[in-house]
Amino acid sequence: MLNPVINSRRVFLALIVIGAILRVMMIQQRPADAILRAPDEGEYVAITYNLAHGHGFALNGEQTAYRDMLFPVVASVVFRLTGDSIPLVLYLQVILSVTTGMLIYRLGRTRFSESVALVMAAVWIFYPAAVIFSALFLTETLFVFLWVLALVLHDRLNDRGYRTPDAALLGLALGLVMLARAVGMILLVAVLVYIALIRYEAPRKDRWRAVLIVLAASLIVTVPWMIRNAMVLDRFALNTNGGINLLIGNNPRATGTYLFDEDVQGLLPPAERGEAARDRAGTAIARDYMREHKRETVDLWGRKFAYLWATDMSLWAHYLPVRDTSLREHLRSLPLLWLILAALPYMLIVSLGVSGFYLVRHFPARGIFILQLFLGVMAACMSYGLARYHFPYIPACIVGAGALYKPRVWKDSPPWRRLLLLFILGLFLGIWLLEIMTIAGI
């Protein structure tokens, strides 16, 4: 009989190999011209090309900060070494994605058990959105890898008694998370709040010292890019789309999700004024709208929540883009099995994750994961919801699902807690059923 340790290592290695094969197959099966027709990817390719060929962080001949910085910079290094090879950038993402699975395994082993950690890693390895994103020339795969790496480094900081080197390392990682996507600030805030206010078992002096070091290290990473943006674009910020996103979610035509048509763009200064001026104007217009239309603003929160937690079916519109049809028509034209494969695993992960956080009230660093989810929802309510935006919160949901390994968590909960959980899950189910009915045209 095999030693259990050796057996688990073989299972873990098999998961990594299978996960890599699945992702490579997804890359190879994607139509060759899909990147140029898909939303956002063409701009990332253009910026990467300009960086690799010495033209700076530029788009359409002008310096930009509209797209987040880190992914094009990393991809440009691959371009320089390989002669502008897009596939090799995607193969790098395969490595990052399966490594994310390894990090999730580490999170599970720290909190639960070896067997639970293997299941958690397997969930990520076979999670369809993680496989699909590996084939997309977008920042998400790098972003989530760094996000989960920061969570592992937080565990390291906690386990070692909030030592200064560990706090600095965590801060550097969080800085990279924010450079990958500015919304990574959510994780920074979650970490700082958790250490300072929730992790009260540790000495206060050690915790607050760690908070200051984490914050300082993250600023060391991010401030140089913000200074560049201030000097080149007159905007001291991580990017120049924050105000635009705020406007998309808060204007008379806002729907709760992405809608940036001619009417909304007409609220902004002309493009000739520059992206920084448009970003500032977007912030000002959105704030005025929220202040003057409080009821309409709050009324949209439910829709924004629903769009944020919609299923992953819309990812097929990125993988197999068709520009001359609506999203609903495009998804309706796809095989039903494809939609089920994208939707069902996601629905199970979120349902089990919510159940785990709700029913299991004590496991290591539970609060930091709940903070991520809460702040993510708040960010969507302030801007707008999009199914693609829930991707960084899936590892947290997997951790929550892992907590359900504890026995009798359902039976030991009082009836009122069970009923409330069923109500919460019913809300999610209602969101998903409405999405399915919309696609089906019912």
What are the pLDDT digits (tens) for 339-364? Answer: 999 999 999 999 999 999 999 988 98
Cβ count near 78 (within 10 Å):
20
- Residue 109, CB-side half-sphere exposure with 13 Å CA sphere: 15
- Phi/psi of residue 63, each to 5°? -65, 145
The average pLDDT across 426-437 equals: 93
Confidence class for position 35, pLDDT limits 50, 70, 90 = confident
* Cβ neighbours of residue 29 closer than 8 Å, sequence gap 6 or more: none
pTM: 0.96
pLDDT of the residue at 1: 44
Pick the range with the lowest mean pLDDT from 140-144, 331-335, 422-426. 331-335
What are the pLDDT digits (tens) for 203-259? Answer: 889 999 999 999 999 999 999 999 999 999 999 999 999 999 999 999 999 999 999
- Residue 237, CB-side half-sphere exposure with 13 Å CA sphere: 22
